[in-house]
Amino acid sequence: MRLLHIWHGWFLPFFLFCAALVFSNGIHWIVFHILKRKQGNRPHRLGLGLHEHLGKPARAIFVVTCLFLVQPWLPVSESFHHNVREILAITMVISLGWFAAGMVYVIQNIFLRRFDLNAADNVRARRIHTQFQLFRRVILMFIFLITAGLALYTFHDQRLWQAGTGLLASAGLATLVLATAAKSTASNFLAGMQIALTEPIRIDDVVVVQGEWGRIEEITSAYVVVKIWDLRRLVVPLSYFIDNSFQNWTRSSSDLLGTAFLYLDYSVPVEPLRKQLQQIVTGSKQWDRNVCALQVTDLREHTMEIRCLVSSSNSSDNFDLRCIVREQMMAFVRDNYPKAFPRMRFLAQPEKIEEERRNLPAA
């Protein structure tokens, strides 16, 4: 009879608990199913990552809310009710912080959809993507600190309340202490903020760092990942781009001028080479129809230096165009002026040769 009495006492809370789980998960499924369908029908009006970034924290919020409603029906003592309420309050605070962090990613996705990195002229897009990545990490850090402080406030303990107040009020002091204890980490963090504001580099910028040509693939709060042309990754501290010089080929625009040098004999005529260069770049899809010039830029002891100057809309096309110009210009010279390749001249003077021969000692 006693077991039956206990079972009757727990039946209603158990039933309400199960109903709360089913109801919260049902509401969660309906809401995100509708959002997913709307996103599929109108992809340009809703942001990306709703289910990915908000699905799990929203489910946790729904479940904890329903459990709050069920908690008063538990047949337990008041102290146990108090402990359950504190656990649920902490869980709710953490879930809300989780949801706020997810909202940061969703807002980023909604805003960045207007800025396509694959566009031909993507300078503004690269600037916005870089700034959002760096500021997102700062916002997430503040969300973490606020969530931790509010979680401590949920306890009805004066010491923990003081700890929560201290955590929220001493964030600036803690930053100074950490800066002293971890100088390199703090310098990289400050360098990241400076990079976000002054923009010496951006996502997808073409750079030459430590003699390596590559693109900026990722900018974190501590380092930058440069994707080298041969698919290697060069990991460079953020402070490097503040303290050292480097080449940025796409600082103001993605347009680029490139050169291909030819070293030929003085006897080759320049004008046919100029016409041939124009013909080569006109038939190439890598040329942006802006700059095409051929000039003699230097005269050396045995050859003259001929510079072929061409332009492209981006660095990859310009590299390919320069290779095409070298190959086809050398083929043109080989087929039409085979004697124009660099060679050593030797001029023999018969009188001097005869005089040296008479001065040789007799055998």
Is 139 a domain residue?
A: yes
pLDDT at 24: 67
Residues 298 and 190 in one domain: no
Token readout for 97 is 């912080």
User: What span, in angstroms and rounded, lies between the C-alpha atoms of 15 and 4?
Assistant: 16
pLDDT at 271: 93
CATH number of the domain that residue 242 is part of: 2.30.30.60
pLDDT at 278: 93
Residues 331 and 203 in one domain: no
Is 354 a domain residue?
A: no
Residues 83 and 118 in one domain: yes
Residues 39 and 135 in one domain: yes
Residues 302 and 170 in one domain: no
What is the pLDDT tens value at each position of the chain, 363 positions in all?
Answer: 444 444 455 556 666 667 767 776 677 677 666 666 665 555 444 445 666 777 788 778 877 877 777 766 665 556 666 677 778 888 888 888 888 888 888 877 777 777 766 665 566 677 677 767 777 777 888 888 888 877 777 665 555 555 555 555 555 555 555 555 455 666 666 777 777 677 788 888 889 998 888 988 888 777 889 999 888 999 998 888 888 888 888 777 767 888 999 999 888 899 999 999 999 999 899 898 889 999 999 988 888 999 999 998 888 888 899 999 999 999 999 999 888 877 665 555 566 556 666 666 655
Is 346 a domain residue?
A: no
pLDDT at 331: 92
Residues 155 and 210 in one domain: no
Residues 178 and 220 in one domain: no
Residues 304 and 276 in one domain: yes
Residues 190 and 210 in one domain: no
Residues 187 and 203 in one domain: no
pLDDT at 6: 46
Is 355 a domain residue?
A: no
Is 66 a domain residue?
A: yes
* Number of folded domains that form the chain: 3
Amino acid at 102: G
Is 265 a domain residue?
A: yes
Residues 39 and 156 in one domain: yes
Token readout for 353 is 């040769």
Amino acid at 247: Q
Token readout for 236 is 């460079």
Task: Decide if 188 contacts 237 (C-beta within 8 A).
Answer: yes
pLDDT at 355: 64
Is 345 a domain residue?
A: no
CATH number of the domain that residue 303 is part of: 3.30.70.100
pLDDT at 275: 93
Residue 271: domain span: 256-340
pLDDT at 46: 44
Residues 304 and 219 in one domain: no
User: What span, in angstroms and rounded, lies between the C-alpha atoms of 327 and 345?
Assistant: 26
Q: Which of 220, 172, 217 is nearest to 192 (CA)?
A: 220
User: What span, in angstroms and rounded, lies between the C-alpha atoms of 99 and 58?
Assistant: 7
Is 235 a domain residue?
A: yes
